[in-house]
Amino acid sequence: MSVPVRRLTATLGAGALALVLAACGGGSSSGDEDTTASTETVTIEDNHGTVEVPVKPERVVALDNHVFETLSEWDVPLVAAPKAIMGKDLWPEYTDDEEVLDVGSHREPNLESIVAAEPDLIIGGFRFSESYDEIKAQNPDAVVIEIEPREGEDHATELKRQVEILGKIFDREDDAEEINAEYDNAVAAAKDAYNGEDTVVGLITSGGEISYSAPVTGRSIGALYPTLDLVPAIDQKADDTSHGDDISVEAIAAANPDWIVVLDRDGAGVGEGEYRPAKELIGESQALASVTAVTEDQVVYLDPNFYLTEDIQAYTSLYQQLAEAFSASA
């Protein structure tokens, strides 16, 4: 029975390991079997510059929530991941596998688990952006990249760029094109269905409170405005681009939006205290009872897991959802 060399290093001394390796080699030098790992690389532009990345790397650590769904679809195994921020049921092949080391959360990261995983490639960034320099310093033999959507850039282009880069790295460029095409089709459908006049407000619910997601820069929902050319019911800049800004239900009612798009942040199981669903907070609000979006049943609730994913697949589903909602109201 063969024993993986990486596991042997944890239990055998140098001398014993040398003997095992010699026995496993069997003295064969015929060259009939090529056991040399591929050294093929691809040049990409990550968020820091030009990087040479191994093609189809064998030992991958992924920290960026934007990439988990794509890697899962492509059956890419991981050696470490931040299980604490991946949800319970989204990617069980990673979160339920004890062989996949747990990096924890970005607030309390276990960066030593990345080192222990001996990765070839680390896909960092997003919630782990602040750990970039430390991760690079601790893993000198690994390639570290950050490819999450960049602030100030067109959001749609950034989502597709990320998938294109993953397609090059994992030799799945055709599959990447399909993912991006499905996204483009969903955007086009939502644009066609939107009448160009109805006003929209984006909201985030968490901790029993309703917050405001500003156009363009607001968390999750903000990206919808430039992508679909939506007319904002409330047009003010974001102070908190991560969790939303304080707003009163009276201010929302005064704006009287035709549509409300809501991210239930606590729906993903990341909130603290007693959970109150977004539908309850909005549907049972007397102040919002006469708002057009409520009376016309034009409130769109994002998938509860959206806050954990925010990937191109999540936005594709959201645009499809909006296309159906806009069409139904026409």
- In terms of Cα–Cα distance, which of 183, 189, 135 is closest to 162? 183
49 torsion bin: left (phi>0), alpha (psi -120 to 50), beta (else): left
The answer to whether residue 4 scores a pLDDT higher than 70 is no
- Give which of 243, 213, 245, 242 is closest to 230, Cα–Cα: 213
169-207 residue pLDDT tens? 999 999 999 999 999 999 999 999 999 999 999 999 988
Which one of 3.40.50.2300, 3.40.50.1980, 3.40.50.720, 3.10.20.310 gives the CATH number of domain 194-329? 3.40.50.1980
Confidence of residue 245 (pLDDT cuts 50, 70, 90): low
- Please answer whether residues 141 and 121 qualify as being in contact, where contact means their C-beta atoms are separated by less than 8 angstroms: no
Task: Establish whether domains 41-171 and 194-329 are of one fold.
Answer: yes
- Give the helix/strand (H/E) hosting 167: helix 155-169
Banded pLDDT at 238 (limits 50, 70, 90)? low
39-42 CB contacts, 8 Å cutoff, 24+ apart: 42/168, 42/169
Place of tokens 């959970």: 275
Say if CB 44 and CB 145 are below 8 A apart. yes
Mean pLDDT of the chain: 87
The partner residues of 60 in beta bridges, in order of sequence, read: 121
pLDDT of 29 > 80? The answer is no
Please name the fold of domain 41-171. Answer: Rossmann fold (3.40.50)
Residue 210 pLDDT: 92
Lookup: tokens for 221? 């929902």
Kindly state the tokens that stand for 142: 């690994």
Q: Which residue has the higher pLDDT, 290 or 32?
A: 290
Least confident of 22-36, 84-98, 234-248: 22-36
Domain extent listing, the chain: 1-28, 41-171, 194-329
Q: Give the number of other Cβ atoms within 10 Å of residue 328's Cβ.
A: 10
User: pLDDT (tens digit, 9 = 90+) per residue, 67-126?
Assistant: 999 999 999 999 999 999 999 889 999 999 999 999 999 989 999 999 999 999 999 999
- Percent pLDDT > 90 in the chain is 75
End-to-end Cα separation, the chain, in angstroms: 66
Cα atoms in the Cβ-side hemisphere of radius 13 Å centred on 174: 0
pLDDT at 9 over 50: no
pLDDT surpasses 50 at 8 = no
